[in-house]
Structure 1
Amino acid sequence: MAAENKRRGKGHRLDWFVVVVLCVLGYFAYTMIDQQIHLNELDRDYIAAQQRLETAQRENAALKELKENLDDPVYIEKTAREELGMTHEGELPYIAKK
């Protein structure tokens, strides 16, 4: 019976050791998964920021081109005729019926 109690004591300690090791492994697994989820969110945010930056750069380039055209007399005349309906002296405006 004494030998049986010794075996139970060793088995009991081994069970606690296994439980502690499993808890530690579970904690590390949880931490790794949580960090991976956080990294994925950061990656999505980075991609969205890159897309917004590209859109802003295209818009900036278009506005710079428009700014350069504002000093061009041909562009000014074209805009005045098309958008404002202006004409030269002696010309009659033609408006097509839609």
Structure 2
Amino acid sequence: MAMERRKKRRKFDFFVPLLIVIIGYFAFVLVGQQVHLQEVAADQEAADARLAAAEAENAALKQEKADLQDPAYVEKIAREELGMTRHGELPYTDASK
């Protein structure tokens, strides 16, 4: 009868809790990696936006540099922004301003 009791009584099985702990650990690591990948993707998107803005500014500055090689453009800028005149010209100022 003592043998029958021992057969009916089960030993504690460590396999199932160990398997649950291992699966939980890998799930935790997977979620952490996904969060990190989302942060990296957001950083990449922000860097791409900054790069596009810098490239647009670079193109505008290259165009400005090319325009400054044209004497007519330089004269236009000198007249409009600096109020300069040619020798012998009289500057005109609008009285309504």
Q: Does 1:38 align with 2:36?
A: yes
Q: Indicate the residue corresponding to 2:85 in structure 1.
A: 87
Aligned partner of 1:63: which letter? L
Which structure 1 residue ranges, 4+ long, deviate > 6 Å from structure 2?
none
2:71 and 2:33 map into 1 onto residues whose CA distance is 59
TM-score by length of 1: 0.86
1:8 and 1:95 map into 2 onto residues whose CA distance is 108
2:67 and 2:8 map into 1 onto residues whose CA distance is 93
Q: Where do 5+ consecutive residues of structure 2 fail to align?
A: none
Q: Displacement of 1:18 after TM fit?
A: 1.5
Q: Where do 5+ consecutive residues of structure 1 fail to align?
A: none
Task: Give the count of matched residue pairs.
Answer: 95
Q: Does 1:7 align with 2:8?
A: yes
Percent of aligned positions with the same letter in both sequences? 49
Match of 1:9, SS state, is coil
- Flag the 1:2–1:84 CA change in 2: closer, same or farther, 3 A: same
